[in-house]
Structure 1
Amino acid sequence: MTDSTARQDPFGLTGVRDHEEYVAALKRLAEQGRRERCVALLSETEAHVVAELLGQYALHNPAGQLNQLAATLAARLYSRLGA
C-alpha cells in the first residue's frame, strides 16, 4: 500500500472482498477503538441520533452480523452518554 492509498483508506476497508470480510474488518476496528483514547467528534445530541439510528438498524435484522455490530456500537454510545 502506498502512502497516498493509506491516507485515502486509513482504516483498511477498501481491500475487503465480501460482506463477511467487511463485517470482520469493522469488528476489528470497533475493538481497536475501545482501546484508544476518546475524542469528542459529535455533540451529545448528534451522538443520541447516531445511537438511535444504529439501534433501529440493528432491530431490522437482529441475527445479521452487521446488525449485531450496529447494536453493539449503539449500546456503547448510550453507555458513554449515560442513557
Structure 2
Amino acid sequence: MTDPTARQDPFGLIGVRDHREYVDALKRLTEQGRRERCVALLSQTEAHVVAELLGQYALQHPSGHLNQLAATLSARLYSRLGA
C-alpha cells in the first residue's frame, strides 16, 4: 500500500518550509527531469509561450530566487523548440 501523501505530492513539494527551500526543490526536480524520458505535454505554440513568459520573468526579476531557474528552463524550452 502506498502513502496517500506521496500520491498527492509526487514531486515532494508539500514539505518545503520557505521560498528558498522551494527554489532548491524545483532545481533538484529540474536536474532529475534532464535525465528522464521526454514526453510531449504542450503544443509547440504553448511551449513557446511558456518559454517567453519564463524568459521575461527572469529579465524582470534579476535578483529573485527563481530567476536562474526561470532563465534555465526558458533556454531549455527554446533549445528544444529549435529557436
TM-score scaled by length of structure 1: 0.94
Alignment-derived partner of residue 70 in structure 1: 70
Distance apart, 1:15 and its partner CA? 0.2
> How high is the sequence identity, in percent, across the aligned residues?
87
Distance in 1 between the 2:3 and 2:69 partners?
30
Alignment-derived partner of residue 49 in structure 2: 49
* Number of aligned positions between the proteins: 82
Distance in 1 between the 2:54 and 2:39 partners?
20
Cα deviations across residues 17-43 of structure 1 (Å, max 9, x unaligned)? 011100000000000000001000000
Distance apart, 1:63 and its partner CA? 2.6
Q: How does 1:1-83 map to 2 (within 5 A)?
A: 3-83=3-83
Distance apart, 1:65 and its partner CA? 2.2
Q: Cα RMSD between the aligned structures?
A: 1.0
Unaligned runs of 5+ in 1: none
Unaligned runs of 5+ in 2: none
Q: Which moved more, 1:60-69 or 1:13-22?
A: 60-69
TM-score scaled by length of structure 2: 0.94
Greater RCO (CA < 8 Å, at least 6 residues apart): 2
